Structure 1
């Protein structure tokens, strides 16, 4: 019988999901005290997670070796989404400065993108690095719509797109221009598809609340056919990650939704706060870290992240 399993945070909606969790594993709240948690990134060499507390203009750091929590960076330019590139460097989306940056090994900051066609970006939201070194990011307008997560301003571009930064030339190219509010993004394991969530329904009645699956052209630099992969049944899909078997683990209003490779909702991890984003971590990448409103949560799973 499927349903909420008493004493755990798991809800199985399909037999497939039961194999994804460990019967005695429990959701742990590792820390609380943020205003809006987002953008977790796992650093395997240091065994720690960083994440954003956007309204408080800081990044936090949780250390797996001793469970301690500290401020990683403040001010953080109201940073949102992060990822780690192939050289172990932090790549960040900053609302306040409306740019994408990279933190070098010596701590210096390199600006990777702050404009497109001579106009300032809106407020880069989430980012992923492809195996060829190119950086792909979303640019909705959340950071300029109010003063809570950045500075209120008018969009110079007048639209919200998905962009690619060329690893050789640094050129910024719009690869998808038909989104309302592009948000989280991730590549499939073979990088033949890019998944992008659209949270346009947050500020547009009847707007999108789904993840789209977009074909990547053979050149690896542009996108082709797009289709709706899954509709969110509770709130919005924000940030998400894939596991090695092609399932998507996405944030939602009631926790984390697990989507089968075909897009069906097969289970949930219930969290008592709205989840903003997730990341797989731990030495075996079988621990899911969840940045949820005021807190950082984690749970061990019987799956491994990409």
Structure 2
């Protein structure tokens, strides 16, 4: 059953959306909208417009849009740590950084075993303060989203930065192009997108799910869902463990059992999503040139 902004593929999707709600356009004018993060303390959303080398800001109180940061080192994925500081993946500097409360910037990761990272893409913070991020080559493939360069590491991994020691280590090394990632609400599982189809014929366009041990080691890694419309990019989970994933035709909603429940249609390929608002029930959608939002009858999982 399909109508308007929604496509229902499983009756369980009816509890995830309200037919009376519509996808609202908050802004148009990006070249590639990505990396949304909601900042509760200020009631605003930040998102990246990577090719334009800027971070944008949408104010929840008056719905105004402004340029928050430019140049922005071709920032991509963003999140907040336990102290409310912005943690960003930067294609331009090929690093993961943290903006301190005084405005200064701390580099959290830029090299692995003496070699420069490719171009950190997306990032999450675990409740223990560790930083987990993906490192494909999209920011160094061309000058469109960063600066063209030759990879030094020679592979695309998923990394963790230890909160206490600052050590950067590989936690998953069998990806073609690791992309979006998100923890389950209880942090016992980690979902990671592989969008390797961009570089390998018939390559991966799926989400894998890993078990996270008490000592933060990953195991498993089975395919959770495969994308039938383009490829997956950024993902978020709601408090019931459903996975909301950006794809070519909109946002795909998956039950924790891996069933595709339905889609929110946007008319543009979706790069990333974010739950925000005072009750975490607004889904913000970064879709190519635009920022959209829709209010849902579900709440996003707490990140930390």
Q: TM-score range by the shorter chain?
A: over 0.9
1:189 counterpart residue number? 185
Give the match for residue 275 of structure 2: 280
Deviations 1:2-35 (Å, cap 9, x if unpaired)?
Answer: x212xx3111111100111112111000000000
Residue in structure 1 matched with residue 262 of structure 2 by the alignment: 267
Aligned length: 301
Q: Structure 2 stretches of 5 or more lacking a match?
A: none
- Indicate the RMSD between aligned Cα atoms, in angstroms: 0.6
Deviation at 1:99, TM superposition (A): 0.1
After superposition, residues 114-263 of structure 1 pair within 5 angstroms as 114-220=110-216, 222-263=217-258
Kindly indicate whether residue 52 of structure 2 is the aligned counterpart of residue 52 of structure 1.
no
Pairing partner for 1:4 from 2, 5, 9: 2
Between the aligned partners of 1:23 and 1:10, the Cα distance in structure 2 is 8
Q: Could you tell which deviates more after superposition, 66-75 or 15-24?
A: 15-24
Structure 1: which 4+ aligned runs deviate by more than 2 Å? none
Shift of 1:91: 0.3
Match of 2:104 in 1: 108
- Take 2:298 and 2:110, find their aligned partners in 1: how far apart are those partners? 37
Q: Which runs of 5+ in 1 are unaligned?
A: none
Partner of 1:38: 34
Superposition TM-score, scaled by structure 1 size:
0.97
Other structure's SS at 2:52 match: coil
Q: CA deviation at 1:212?
A: 0.1
**Aligned equivalents of 1:68, 1:4: Cα separation in 2:** 32
Any idea what SS the aligned residue of 2:12 has?
A: helix
Q: Distance in 2 between matches of 1:31 and 1:82?
A: 19
Shift of 1:192: 1.0
CA distance in 1, matches of 2:277, 2:287: 19
Of the three residues 82, 85, 88, the one matched with 2:84 is: 88
- Deviation track 1:274-296 (CA, whole Å, cap 9, x = no partner) reads 11000000000000000110010
Distance 1:263 1:296 in 2: 27
